[in-house]
């Protein structure tokens, strides 16, 4: 039976960590994820977990410690944000290529420069091809639920990949919301114990972790890792189905909101979805066939499923909360456009970069995007494909 409470996203994730009771937590603080290890340190001090809590000298070291622990057969976790995630860059690739299912909680925050402590996805998007599974939350409940599912996903035998559980810095990480928690014993039964088949301390089956990959072997290792990411899609759905049976809350690769007959739609991620849903509801009352898709799983990217969901739309706007500096759009747009490339009838598609460094996103802005899509449908003219929204300068936004 669920327990009603009111928690921030950071405390919700820390609570999930406590309930799972991992073997090792290697921590280094950085805003806005610092509260996660702070809460967990109190659990350690109060004897509520058996976790080895390690304070290290940098984010690079925290993930390195997790790699050593996970390679030895432990369940290892950490948390970070922004430049801390960037500082981990080298070892993110080591963890993924070594097939170590570490779970990393990320309170997403803008990257320098200029220096900024507020939310966008520039940190996690910069690591989108590191080999980590990436799952994003709209609100505190989803942050908690995503974390409860993460270990089982990453530890699936034909996956064995690390998992990044992403929440929106400050918007989700620090805001208090009503939430349903599960009982400790139910969580531990759902997540289960970690029993890796191979690990460094297994004396009867010695192995190397992270060896030098010479040319005759490197590509095969990479292909195996790529196949594991494909397998992760199935594992995510299987774990989500079990989560729904156990706790009653339903998750998929993405959420479709009023998409059953939508002619115009948004594709976006995270907390902005709540704002955009309000715009969709208002427009539906006015007879506008608007809808949206909220991406939950960015890696593995649900390309086939997303194309199927969008194929009946006439115009789609992808909202990117990260600037890709590609001169043609952001990362979510690139993935979404690629997903739809082979559709017989493709929707007309534009990309809008918004919300950088914590810039507000409002219901009125969402409605303006839908109005632009309506004009595209009416006139057949797309206009500029790649634009920004919400910035202060002399340029006019695309109307």
Res 394: pLDDT: 61
Mean pLDDT of 135-147: 98
If pLDDT is split at 50, 70 and 90, which confidence band does 392 have? confident
d(C-alpha 315, C-alpha 265), whole Å:
7
Q: Could you give the strand order of the β-sheet that contains 290-295, starting from the edge strand earlier in sequence?
A: 254-257, 290-295, 264-269, 315-320, 348-354, 386-389
Cβ atoms of 51 and 27 closer than 8 Å: no
Structure tokens at 47: 């004897």
Instruction: List pLDDT tens digits, range 238-285.
Output: 999 999 999 999 999 999 999 999 999 999 999 999 999 999 999 999
d(C-alpha 204, C-alpha 202), whole Å:
6
Burial of 56 (0-12, 13-18, 19+ CB in 10 A): middle
Residues with Cβ within 8 Å of 289's Cβ and at least 6 positions away in sequence, in order, are 261, 262, 263, 264
3-class DSSP assignment, residue 111: coil
d(C-alpha 276, C-alpha 274), whole Å:
5
Least confident of 38-47, 74-83, 208-217, 229-238: 208-217
Instruction: List pLDDT tens digits, range 145-182.
Output: 999 999 999 999 999 999 999 999 999 999 999 999 99
Mean pLDDT of 385-395: 87
d(C-alpha 261, C-alpha 313), whole Å:
8
Q: Which domains does the chain have, with CATH numbers?
A: 3-247 (3.40.50.970), 254-389 (3.40.50.920)
Residue count of the chain, please give it. 399
In terms of DSSP bridges, do strands 163-168 and 103-108 run parallel, antiparallel, or are they unpaired?
parallel
> Nearest 5°: phi and psi at 88?
-80, -5
Model-level pTM?
0.97
Comparing C-alpha atoms, which of 374, 209, 375, 184 is closest to residue 290?
374
Res 397: pLDDT: 64
The string of DSSP letters for 131-152 reads S-EEEE-SSHHHHHHHHHHHHH
Residues with Cβ within 8 Å of 307's Cβ and at least 6 positions away in sequence, in order, are 339, 340, 342, 343
Residue 84, pLDDT above cutoff 90:
yes
Instruction: Kindly provide the b/e burial profile for residues 353-385, where b requires at least 16 CB atoms within 10 angstroms of the residue's own CB.
Output: bbbbbbbebebebbbbbbebbbebbeeeeeeee
């Amino acid at each position: 039976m669920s327990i009603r409470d009111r928690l921030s996203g950071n405390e919700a994730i820390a609570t999930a960590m406590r309930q799972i009771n991992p073997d090792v937590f290697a921590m280094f603080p950085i805003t806005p994820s610092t509260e996660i290890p702070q809460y967990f340190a109190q659990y350690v001090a109060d004897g509520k977990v058996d976790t080895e809590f390690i304070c290290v000298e940098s984010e690079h070291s925290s993930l390195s410690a997790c790699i050593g622990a996970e390679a030895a057969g432990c369940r290892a976790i950490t948390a970070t944000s922004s430049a801390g995630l960037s500082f981990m860059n080298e070892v993110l690739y080591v963890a993924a290529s070594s097939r170590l299912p570490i779970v990393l909680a990320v309170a997403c925050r803008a990257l320098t420069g200029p220096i900024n402590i507020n939310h966008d996805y520039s940190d996690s998007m910069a690591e989108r091809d590191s080999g980590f599974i990436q799952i994003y939350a709209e609100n505190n409940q989803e942050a908690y639920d995503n974390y409860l599912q993460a270990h089982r996903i990453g530890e699936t035998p034909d996956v064995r990949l690390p998992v990044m559980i992403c929440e929106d810095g400050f918007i989700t990480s620090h805001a208090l919301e009503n939430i349903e928690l599960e009982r400790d014993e139910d969580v531990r039964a759902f997540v289960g114990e970690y029993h890796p088949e191979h690990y460094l301390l297994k004396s009867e089956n010695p192995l190397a972790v992270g060896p030098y990959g010479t040319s005759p072997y490197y590509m095969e290792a990479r292909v195996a890792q790529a196949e594991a990411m494909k397998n992760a899609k199935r594992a995510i759905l299987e774990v989500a189905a079990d989560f729904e049976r156990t706790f009653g809350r339903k998750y998929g690769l993405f959420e479709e909101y009023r998409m059953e007959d939508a002619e115009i739609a948004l594709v976006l991620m995270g907390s902005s979805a709540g704002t955009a849903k309000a715009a969709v509801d208002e427009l539906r009352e006015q007879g506008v066939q608007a809808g949206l898709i909220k991406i939950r799983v960015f890696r593995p990217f649900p390309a086939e499923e997303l194309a199927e969901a969008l194929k009946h739309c006439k115009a789609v706007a992808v909202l990117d909360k990260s600037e890709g500096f590609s001169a043609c759009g952001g990362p979510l747009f690139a993935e979404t456009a690629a997903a739809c490339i082979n559709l017989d009838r493709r929707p007309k598609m534009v990309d809008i970069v918004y919300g950088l460094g914590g810039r507000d996103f409002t219901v009125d802005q969402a409605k303006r995007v839908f109005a632009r899509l309506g004009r595209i449908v009416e006139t057949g003219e797309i206009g500029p494909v790649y634009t920004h929204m919400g910035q202060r300068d002399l340029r006019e936004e695309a109307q």
